[in-house]
Structure 1
Amino acid sequence: MKTNMKFHRLFITIVTFALVLIISACGNEDTSPETETEGEANNTEVVLDSAMGEVTLPANAEKIMAPYHEDALLALGVTPVAKWSIGQMVQDYLEADLKDVPGIEWNLPLEQVLNHTPDLIILQNNMDSYEGTYEDYNKIAATYLMTEEMVADWRKQIETFGIILGKEDEAQKVLADYEEKVSSAHDQLSETLGDETVAVIWTAGDQFYLFEQNRHSAEVLYSELGVNQPTLIEELGVAAAAWNPISVEKLSELDADHVILLALEGEQGIQTLENSSVWQSTPAAKNGNVHIINDPSNWTNKGLIASQQTIDDVLSVLGE
């Protein structure tokens, strides 16, 4: 009898222990998928500040629209669903990557935006140029409004786009690679130019626009590459919002050692300068140091790719 009782107690102990193990195993199986689900949920959204305050955006957007800021998208390896345009005019310096991407008008007509069915829309903070309101676009797709500071600083754009698109590592890499490019070009130009000065002029039709020290990609030339400014550009100071043409007579005061002349092939302004005794008397023209570049588009934009191409242009005409 005692033996049976011992056996009975042992049997109960074994069964109880087995049930504990089973329940424990089932508990582990139940909690594991919940943890994964929570992790997956956290990865589907991005919360960050914008010009509209804190916003929540999808982290897995594939069809992205960032009109006029395609430079930052392409720098991160992302092709937009549509590209900024004014009629047939586009950002030419990006066309190698965007030639097959349809255009969307600069004022973002709501119907056109709808037709492209974006998952994410990234806009500038000033909405005045757009046809719709923030609320209109946000009804079509999650919409992020850049801050004024971000619009003015392409580095901040890349960093923020990297966060939105889950490409933070890529953003840091392309920015670091760019700084290396700047450093190398700076050293090269210090050797080839020394103290010589450089001016940049864009001719469109028969009008001439002299770049101030911070106008578009001239900031790369002067602030990043350390190239010296001629006196006339120093006197112009920082760029105003309106960019007015300068007369050939005023260009007679340009004492630059070198001039980078941005002009499409066959532009009338080139002929005008060649036939102008006033222009021919300037130091750069007299010494044969007027360097023509036939694609102005990267010079009249700001962005990582625009800046890279500007550095390449400068090295091609002044780096040897």
Structure 2
Amino acid sequence: MKMNVNFRRLFPTIIIGLLVLIIAACGNNDSSPETENEEGTGNKEVTLDSAMGEVTIPANAEKILAPYHEDALVALGVTPVAKWAIGQSVQNYLEEDLKDVPPIEWNVPVEQALSHEPDLIILQNNMDSYEGSFEDYNKIAPTYLMTEETVKDWRKQIETFGTILGKEEEAKKLLSDYEAKVEEARSQLEEALGDETAAVIWAAGNQFYLFEQDRHSAEVLYSELGVKQPALVQELGAADAASWNPISVEKLSELDADHVFLLALEGEQGIQTLEDSAVWQSTPAAKNGNVHIINDPSNWTNKGLIASQKTIEDVLNAVGK
């Protein structure tokens, strides 16, 4: 991706701000989807709960638009008509499957949505991050607004999308296979790490973001894989979805993690900053050569089935034995 120097410096901040906006754009409807279709297949209409009440999903919907939630579609074997993007930036970890899919801007401009001629649109429950209104999108195609619970829980997304697409059995198998993957990985990491701790830091430009215990992929690392948290991460507590502030290199001197997963694009300025910092080089992970650089942060800064699977693979490749 080509960009001038000034924009490149600003770009990580733009990305972070938009990610925070997307995560924070959640309402208060906790309804769970309930199908009223006898067979629950894509061959018939399916009526289920949404953030706008009951919605009838058309039979055999094929041209589906679900910006920022393509992870669930791809996992279920469905290629969307367009993929979420910020300019030329996309969710890189999905590009193996979506490289030929055209982008749609992150705020889903109504004219762009119309141009892709979807026959089903799936959006988040809160409309604040979108250019159009629910009525605007619903005029283009039947529009399903996920409940807050579904937005926050990727497992619920798999289940809900499975119901919408008539792929309930596929959804169940995906979740079952994932749990088996987690158990196997957890066992390997118990042997490889024991009581050693690990932290996740995102270097965006020359700023550093320490992941709280439940921020994006950190939830996979700590809650699912059972990796121990260093004291500084424990002190942070739960993530605030509405904000995420950078941490100074001086504060990172307090990070007593045995391992650090450093998320940074190749050539990112922050990598050199840490290498040149005596403060950073004095931390346990740096002194022992246990700073594991991950050059594709995209799956680590998202939540989804595929994102979680790739995060597990990154962890095992870095520290698994």
TM superposition score category, shorter chain reference: 0.7 to 0.9
Equivalent-residue separation in structure 1 for 2:239 and 2:290 (angstroms):
25
Higher Cα radius of gyration: 1
Residues 172/135 of structure 1: CA separation in 2 closer, same or farther (3 Å cut): same
Aligned to 2:269: 268
Instruction: Give the 5 Å matches for 1:286-305.
Output: 286-305=287-306
Aligned equivalents of 2:207 and 2:131: distance in 1?
31
Other-structure match for 2:65: 65
Give the 5 Å matches for 1:100-111.
Answer: 100-111=100-111
Residue 215 of structure 2: SS of its match in structure 1?
coil
Task: Find the counterpart in structure 1 of residue 139 from structure 2.
Answer: 139
1:8 corresponds to which residue? none
**Alpha-carbon distance between aligned partners in 2 of 1:42 and 1:196, rounded to the nearest angstrom:** 47
C-alpha distance after superposition, 1:154-209 (max 9, x if no partner): 00000010001000010001110000000000000000100000011110111101
Any idea what SS the aligned residue of 1:259 has? strand
Deviation string, structure 1 residues 136-170 (Cα, Å, up to 9, x no partner)? 11111010000011000000000010001000010
For residues 43 and 277 of structure 1, the distance between their equivalents in structure 2, rounded to whole angstroms, comes to 63
Deviations 1:114-144 (A, max 9, x none): 1100010000001011111111111110100
CA contact (8 A) 1:199 1:229 kept: yes
Summarize deviations over 1:277-300 as a string: whole Å, max 9, x none: 100111111111111111100000
Q: Secondary structure at the match of 1:170?
A: helix
Which residue type is aligned with residue 270 of structure 2? G
One-letter identity of the residue aligned with 2:310: Q
Alpha-carbon distance between aligned partners in 1 of 2:305 and 2:174, rounded to the nearest angstrom: 9
Please list, as runs of the form range in 1=range in 2, the aligned pairs for 1:230-249 lying within 5 A after superposition: 230-241=230-241, 242-249=243-250
CA distance in 2, matches of 1:260, 1:173: 30
Q: Is 1:220 aligned with 2:226?
A: no
Contact preservation (8 Å) 2:42, 2:166: no
User: Structure 1 segments of 4 or more deviating over 4 A?
Assistant: none
CA distance in structure 1 between the partners assigned to 2:264 and 2:313 by the alignment: 17
- 2:81–2:101: 8 Å Cα contact kept in structure 1? yes
CA distance in structure 1 between the partners assigned to 2:66 and 2:182 by the alignment: 26
Equivalent in the alignment of 1:150: 150
- Counterparts of 1:182-197 in structure 2, within 5 Å, are 182-197=182-197
Counterparts of 1:40-189 in structure 2, within 5 Å, are 43-189=43-189
| Contact persistence 1:59–1:164 (CA under 8 A) | no
SS at match of 2:316: helix
1:313 correspondence with 2:310: no
- Structure 2 distance, partners of 1:55, 1:287, is 55
CA deviation after TM superposition for structure 1 residue 44, in Å: 2.6
Residues 9-20 of structure 1 aligned to structure 2 (within 5 Å): none
- Gaps in structure 2 of 5+ consecutive residues: 1-37
The Cα offsets for residues 78-114 of structure 1, whole Å up to 9 and x where unpaired, read as 0000000111111011011100000001111111111
Larger helix proportion, structure 1 or 2? 1
Structure 1, unaligned runs of 5 or more: 1-37
Residue 59 of structure 1: CA displacement? Answer: 2.7
Residue pair 2:42, 2:167 contacting (<8 A) in 1 also: no
TM-score after normalising by structure 2: 0.86
SS at match of 1:47: strand
SS in 1 for 2:300: coil
Does the aligned pair in 2 maintain the 1:51–1:125 contact within 8 Å? yes
SS in 1 for 2:214: coil
Residue in structure 1 matched with residue 284 of structure 2 by the alignment = 283
Taking the aligned partners of 2:65 and 2:312, their CA distance within structure 1 comes to 27
Paired letter, 2:317:
S
Whether the 8 Å CA contact 1:195–1:228 is kept in 2: the answer is yes
For the 8 Å contact 1:47–1:57, the answer to whether it is kept is: yes
Identity %: 80
Secondary structure at the aligned position of 1:255 is classed as: coil
